[in-house]
Structure 1
Amino acid sequence: MSDIPHKRDELGRILVQVRNDLTELRKRLGRTAVREQGQTLDIDALDAAISRTEDGIKTRAEEYLKTVNKQVLTLPIIEDLEKKTKKIAKWRPPLETIPDMRPQKYLTAGASPGEKHKAAFTMRLLYNPAHPKNRELMHQAYGIQFPDLRKKTGTTVSIASLVEKGLPPSVADLCLVRTPVKPKVTYLHQREGGSPNRIGQMHSILPVHSSSTLFCFVCAQCAPALPPAPVSKHCFNIVGGQIDPCAADFCTFKEHYCLCWGPLVEVLWQLERLMREYAVPHARVCGERLVALVQSGELDWGSGDMEQLLLTLENKEEVWELVKQPGQRYKGEGGRQAAAVRIQACWRRHQARTAYLEKQRRKWAAGTIAISWLLHAQVRRVRKSLQVTRLRHLENYRSRAEVRRTHIHTPQQRRSLQGFDILQNTQMGRLCDVKDENVEVIYVCPVQLGEDLLHYYTQLLGLQGAVETGEPTALPASCTKRFTILTPEAYQYFPSHKMCVSTLLKYSPHTLQRIKYLIQGKQAYLVSGVPHIDDLAVADELGVPVLGPEPAVAQLYGTKSGVRRIFTSAGVSVPPGHGDIYTLQQLHECLAQLMTDHLQVQCWLFKMDGEVGSRGTAYCDVSHLSFRPWALQEYHCRGPQLWRMAWAQEPVLLKCLEAVPALLASHAKPFNTSCYPTWTCFIEHFLKQGGVIEACPPSDSVTCLTVDLLVEPGGEVNMLSCGDQLHGPGGLQVAGYTVPQTSVSSDTLYSICMRVGHACQQRRILGYLSLDLVTFLEPSSLEQQVWAVDLDIGYSNQLAMTQLMLLMTGGTLSYRTGRLEVPPPVRANKPTARQKVPASVTTRFAVMSSQLLHTNLSMVRYSVFFQMCKAQGIGFDIKERQGSVFALHDSVERSSLSMVTISPDLQGALLTFARNLSVIHQEISAPNMQGETNFKNACLLCVVINNMTSLC
């Protein structure tokens, strides 16, 4: 057996040498020109034949190398090895002897088409050993005698013998006949006297053929097609992960597939290893399926295709159920090592995953920090830029402190109100500033006004000449040329944003350019509503001062807590209370202390710092506390002087602290339930914004009044308007005013207003202020008490309606006397000597409201509305300077308006106001469509006040 590998190497060397000789032969043929009778020999055809032969030699050499390295060889009998082995002849053709190609006319260039066809047919026969004439043609052309394939014989012809006969190797390989002789098989073992090894070492178990058997080198790629399998599937068993090589079924299987046994050995070894690794006790292999799987070439040894191997088993379901059990792999061969590898892999994967996640977390954190820092730096730059811009605006505002004569009105209100744009336009009465001949008005309207409204206000302001002369037919006054109404174009781009007028104007360059043109060469100043930071930006853009405080000052003192500080410094009376409350514990402690200090107060109010009206107000009645009678008895026993001592109040204070949480939870209620339905919702917003606690006046008869002040930059304080408030059903919501006020004496009112005005001037609070006061009779002393309860910084609705009233009456409001004085009616005939000379002035009373709402008004055009009023006798008498005047708000919704009724007495003004509302409601409403309105409440309120005034 030691000589066999040497002979295999010798055969490989011969094949390589043959290939090299053919290459050299082709090179020499390229330089040789054979001519016969003037015709050139077709060297190209010969070169093509040599190339094909060379390719065949190359392919067979590669297959031989693969076979030597991978396949199992068939060996002769050991004892006859030396006798049966033949020496393979070496290929050494002399290069000088080139076959004479001239007799072969089918290879010459001048061959006829018939001869070419015959030559091609002959070559096809040579390359087709199965053809019946192939044997005769090979004998005639090369002198090789092949056995008859139709006869059963064991004679074989080797490739070397065919090459020695002069046949090209590729043709010799195609002509090689493998006779189906059943070989005689014996087995070789690794050790003598021992039992055969397991099939896992199948490479050492090789079948031995007889001397007449040809060596067969077969691989998985070039394996010959197997004959149809017999009825038997050639099944064999794998018991305990091993195949018994002596078993009859396995021997039958191996004997049947001996010609392709090389590829099967590797598959059997893989299948045997799989059974051992998964500790499969018994598996039955179907040989036919196994051979079909090997011939298909679908096995992937790199990935270990277990499923395809299991498909070759007869009991694959049982084996698969066993294999797929968890942990089954670790019960077989190498299970402990596989388990250790799996544990290490899982642990390393866990470590790698943890390290990766930690790295990703750090990367994310670093990115977040970087982005946050960049955003912070950008916001810081923007904030610094805004601070510089606003500081410049503030400096420019302070440098323009002197008052000028062109009024630029921006009637802005709070942002959180519903119908924000319409509410901002309830101060159309600002146009009436044109009653002064030296004043021009530029009114910035937050909504687009139609031609009907522009025509109405032009006609209304044109009545000033008729009012002054008392003649209705007088020509329109020149004031119609001294007012301009502008609408910022930005309102179209922000329809759903609740922006104040200054903000809209800031982003409206065309409107700003128009205002600059109108005020060019004139003295002007900006009159805003609620102070806003954008007022300074607009004023700086226009180059005009602002008649108002700095936005920061207004924000500080415009809250309920800031107002209490102003009143305290002014020395005016304020209701008992406490401000700057931001926590629930602070609220409970302050309320308990206030209840102990003022036991006579039965109701306490809670007001948010940033709200207006009754929207941010709640109340709590403490009169039903169970221990209140005992507390009052303690107070009377101690007396007012001793009750101020902490030791005297301590028992009652402890009781109040204990009862306050439950008291607020059960009895505290918001006034406006549409904004804050419950106390819980109210107190949540209250603590966010901060607020105050104040006492309700301890009386059933309480009157509220509003005074409008103007604090000029020079330090002067002027009273512009004063009137008693008309409250709605809730008791805190203002429905209207009666002018002039009749609740407080003129001297007392003037003293309070001056002190508050000077206190505001010291804090640089300039411009228009609206002061709210309450007056009542002290129950114990029956003396009148006046408390200052609120201060709004900005232009008020009452002041706008007062300006409209003064324009239509041509009168003045005297604050020293507390009277509305107007010129006497114009008489057609002069008085005789016997008649009394009329008084130089007469008095009037007015009832006004700027918040009249009726949804049915939107269905009526303003022209139809005024015709209806004229038919019902609703109008204004210029001669008598009494009647009704309306202020319209918008041209689209038309659901709200303002109204002023003027009469010689207060009862007449109240009745006229109530009658007008009743008539309008009946005209625009149907029994089945009443609409949403506050007309009814205002009518009832006027009737009640009229009855009370009549009784007084």
Structure 2
Amino acid sequence: MKWASGVFAIAWMMRMRAIKNRERLRETRADNLEVYKSKIKILKSTWKRIKNSRRVVVHIPSLGYTEDIRAQMYNFHVEQNNQIARICSISDPNVDVIYVSPITVTDEAKQYYQKLLSLKKAIDSGNMNDITDMNTRITFVVPEVISHFGVSTTTIPHKKNLCLSSMLRYSPNALQRIQRLIKGRDAYIVPGMVHVDDLEVARILDIPILGSEPQVAQLYSTKSGAKRIFENAGVSMPPGDYDIYSSDQMHETISQLIINNLDIKRWLFKFNSSVSSNGIAYCDITKHLTCYSHVMKEKARYGKEWCHKWAHESSFHQVFSEIPRILRQHACPLNRILYPNWESFKVAFLNEGGIIEAYPRAESVTVLQADMMIEPDGHTQLLCIGDQISESSAFKPWGISVPQSSIDSDYVNSVCQKVAASCQSRNIIGHLSLTMVTFISEETVRSFVSFLQSIGNHVIIIKER
């Protein structure tokens, strides 16, 4: 009995300790959020002075996705380090850069980047005597705990994919080095996908974050969250719906979308928070719809009245009855390793939520990427517009070509300004990436149509001249 009572007592003490630790963690995160808000207010009031004076930009290219998403990502540290082009921001003579690297940077790599960047002024002027020394203006900082968290060097997803901001938080030596470098100087953090640990790092360094608070960033970086921004901005979007969380809702939604858009052949299913093409499946539904010819006859019979929902009733039920079979037999997840069939994809889709949208019915589809920054004072900078370069699929881009040549630049600028205004109304600031789909419409020959597709937080410091 004494042994049993001792076990219960220890279990109770451990449980109470865990409860207190969770409560302490919530209080700490709440305090960090308040510090973030106070710092961002100061940054807004002083931004005009800061952006025109000497300053230090601390780049932390952390991908603070949820743990489940990070666990599915291949070469996670490489994905984070894809943002190394941020160091090009030293092209502004007032900017010194501290780049927090998710991988070890060799001396040879440092020398390469420093020499490459030192050539910019000479290339612009055409005079090789204008080569400048960048050694004192760019500093690479590597969190010392990287080796302790099992950074994966394989092509297999790694369960210990801690984001960079978390690693930096637990690296006191790296934090102290950054503190020494920014002491007495104007400085701020440029994050990647903002994580709660970014707030902790900002509090320790006592500098603001040029980005949204984590909950806002996480919400509007989802596919459904982006759709809300686009709706508010009044920009063109593909036929579709968002916030899909149940099987019945999915089947009802896609059935109604098909009835409303009988000319659309391919439909896409996308996770709310997916990376690359991992959370995408497609299905050419009308191709396998046995009642398609009947529905087309119904549409012709009703004529102009087809726009009313009551005219769809019999057709809707026929389409709805076929949808589960068609998806089960013909839907194709793009990542067959993670989701070998529709059923496995569907379970993950409904667990996370997602969107359904039309794929353009065109032979040639170009994806456009626009990178911009919403400054703390509300001013918007369009940093880069380019056409994505893809592999065999438009869903797997590996780069962009600048400048873009797909659509009128004035139109793209107008769309970006509308989206930026919608983002500002939701307290979103910092760097954003928008992707738009452009294609030649069959109805309006040789004119381009753009569908706004998604929004993200990745930073690309490239200015289109």
Q: Which residue of 2 aligns with 1:736?
A: 399
Q: Which amino acid aligns with 2:59?
A: H
For the 8 Å contact 2:115–2:134, the answer to whether it is kept is no
Contact residue 708 and residue 771 of structure 1 kept, 8 A: yes
Determine which structure has more spread, i.e. the larger CA radius of gyration: 1
Report matched runs for 1:279-298 at 5 Å: none
2:127 paired with 1:464: no
Contact 1:461/1:480 (<8 A) preserved: no
Cα 1:387–1:676 shift into 2, 3 Å: same
Specify the alignment match of 2:99 in structure 1.
443
Matching residue of 2:32: 393
Q: Which residue matches 2:148?
A: 493
Task: Select 2:452's aligned residue among 788, 795, 818.
Answer: 788
Contact 2:369/2:388 (8 A) holds in 1? yes
Cα distance in structure 2, aligned partners of 1:514 and 1:598: 58
Distance in structure 2 (CA, Å) of the matches to 1:548 and 1:512: 20
1:629 matched residue in structure 2: 293
Separation in 2 of the partners of 1:476 and 1:457?
14
Report how far residue 372 of structure 1 moved.
Answer: 6.8
Cα 1:372–1:601 change in 2 (3 A) is: farther
Distance in 2 (CA, whole Å) between partners of 1:376 and 1:673 is: 41
Pick which of 786-795 and 403-412 moved more.
403-412
Letter in 2 for 1:492: S
Which ranges in structure 2 are unaligned for 5 or more consecutive residues? 152-159
Pair 1:707-2:370 in alignment: yes
Question: Which of these residues, 83, 86, 90, is aligned with residue 434 of structure 1?
Answer: 90
Give deviations 1:59-88, integer Å, cap 9, x for gaps. xxxxxxxxxxxxxxxxxxxxxxxxxxxxxx
Out of 600, 609, 612, which is 2:272 matched to?
609
Q: Does 1:383 align with 2:15?
A: no
User: Could you tell me which amino acid in structure 2 is paired with residue 391 of structure 1?
Assistant: A
Does the 8 Å CA contact 2:114/2:138 hold for their aligned counterparts? no
Tell me the equivalent position of 1:846. none
Between Structure 1 and Structure 2, the one with more strand by share is 2
Q: 1:774 to 1:369 in 2, by over 3 A?
A: farther
Q: 1:430-472 deviations in whole A, cap 9, x for unaligned?
A: 1111111100000111111112111211211221232133133
Pick one of 328, 339, 342 that aligns with 1:679: 342
Is 2:412 the counterpart of 1:412?
no
- The aligned counterpart of 1:480 is 135
CA drift at 1:368:
9.1
Q: Kindly report which structure 2 residues correspond to 1:315-714, keeping only aligned pairs within 5 A, or say none.
A: 374-401=13-40, 402=43, 403=47, 404=50, 405-413=55-63, 414=65, 415=70, 416-472=72-128, 474=129, 476-496=131-151, 497-624=160-287, 625-639=289-303, 641-714=304-377
What's the CA shift for 1:600? 1.1
Counterpart CA distance in 2 for 1:763 and 1:671 is 33
Counterparts of 1:11-30 in structure 2, within 5 Å, are: none
After TM superposition, give the deviation of residue 784 of structure 1 in Å. 3.0
Whole-angstrom CA distance in 2 between matches of 1:547 and 1:596: 45
Q: Decide whether aligned partners of structure 1 residues 601 and 370 sit closer, same or farther in structure 2, where only a CA change above 3 A counts.
A: farther
Q: Is the 8 A contact 1:531 1:794 kept in 2?
A: no
Q: Specify which structure has the bigger relative contact order, considering alpha-carbon pairs within 8 angstroms and separated by 6 or more residues.
A: 2
Give the Cα–Cα distance (whole angstroms) in 2 for the partners of residues 368 and 586 of structure 1: 48
How does 1:718-797 map onto structure 2 within 5 Å?
Answer: 718-782=381-445, 783-795=447-459
Q: Distance in 2 between matches of 1:505 and 1:724?
A: 34
1:687–1:372 CA distance, 2 compared to 1 (3 A): farther
In structure 2, do the counterparts of structure 1 residues 581 and 370 end up closer, same or farther at CA, with 3 Å as the change threshold? Answer: farther
* 1:482 aligned partner, one-letter code: R
> Could you tell me whether the CA contact under 8 Å between 1:437 and 1:479 is conserved in 2?
no
Task: Determine if contact 2:367/2:394 at 8 Å carries over to the other structure.
Answer: no
Q: C-alpha distance in 1, partners of 2:200/2:139?
A: 21
Deviation at 1:557, TM superposition (A): 1.4
SS of corresponding position for 2:238: coil
- Note the residue ranges of structure 1 that are not aligned, 5 or more in a row: 1-359, 803-811, 814-819, 821-952
- Provide closer, same or farther for how the CA distance between residues 650 and 410 of structure 1 changes in structure 2, counting only shifts above 3 A: same
State the shift of 1:507 in Å.
Answer: 0.5
Distance 2:91 2:175 in 1: 25
- The code of the aligned residue for 1:546 comes to I
How far 1:792 sits from its partner (Å)?
Answer: 0.6
Distance 1:449 1:775 in 2: 39
Q: How far off is 1:370 after superposition?
A: 6.9
The amino acid that maps onto 1:434 is I
Deviation readout 1:779-811 (Å, 9 max, x if unpaired): 23445321111001232xxx24x3xxxxxxxxx
In structure 2, distance between residues paired with 1:562 and 1:505: 29
Q: Is the 8 A contact 2:168 2:175 kept in 1?
A: yes
Letter in 2 for 1:645: H
Q: 2 CA distance for matches of 1:670 and 1:463? A: 45
Deviation at 1:668, TM superposition (A): 0.3
Alpha-carbon shift at residue 737 of structure 1 (Å): 1.3
Task: Report the CA distance between 1:693 and its aligned residue.
Answer: 0.7
Task: Give percent identity, aligned residues only.
Answer: 38
Deviations 1:375-406 (A, max 9, x none): 55433322221222112211111122214431
TM-score (norm: length of structure 1): 0.44
Residue deviations 1:285-333, cap 9 Å, x none? xxxxxxxxxxxxxxxxxxxxxxxxxxxxxxxxxxxxxxxxxxxxxxxxx
Alignment of 1:70-149 (within 5 A): none
Distance 1:455 1:706 in 2: 31
CA contact (8 A) 1:561 1:692 kept: yes
Q: CA deviation at 1:491?
A: 0.7
Q: TM-score, with normalisation over the residues of structure 2?
A: 0.89
**C-alpha distance in structure 1 between counterparts of 2:389 and 2:78, whole Å:** 22
State the alpha-carbon separation in 2 of the partners of residues 720 and 475 from structure 1: 26
CA distance in structure 1 between the aligned counterparts of 2:406 and 2:13, rounded to whole angstroms: 62
Q: CA deviation at 1:478?
A: 3.5
User: CA offsets, 1:591-610, max 9 Å, x none?
Assistant: 11111111111110000011
CA–CA distance in structure 1, aligned partners of residues 208 and 7 of structure 2: 45
CA distance in 2: counterparts of 1:616 and 1:438, whole angstroms: 41
The aligned counterpart of 2:156 is none
Distance in 1 (CA, whole Å) between partners of 2:7 and 2:357 is: 48
Q: Is the 8 A contact 1:435 1:479 kept in 2?
A: no
Q: Quick check: 2:98–2:138 contact (8 Å CA) kept in 1?
A: yes
CA 1:372–1:653 in 2, change beyond 3 Å: closer, same or farther? farther
Task: State the Cα distance separating 1:690 from its structure 2 match.
Answer: 1.0
Check the 8 A contact 1:406/1:439 in 2, yes or no: yes
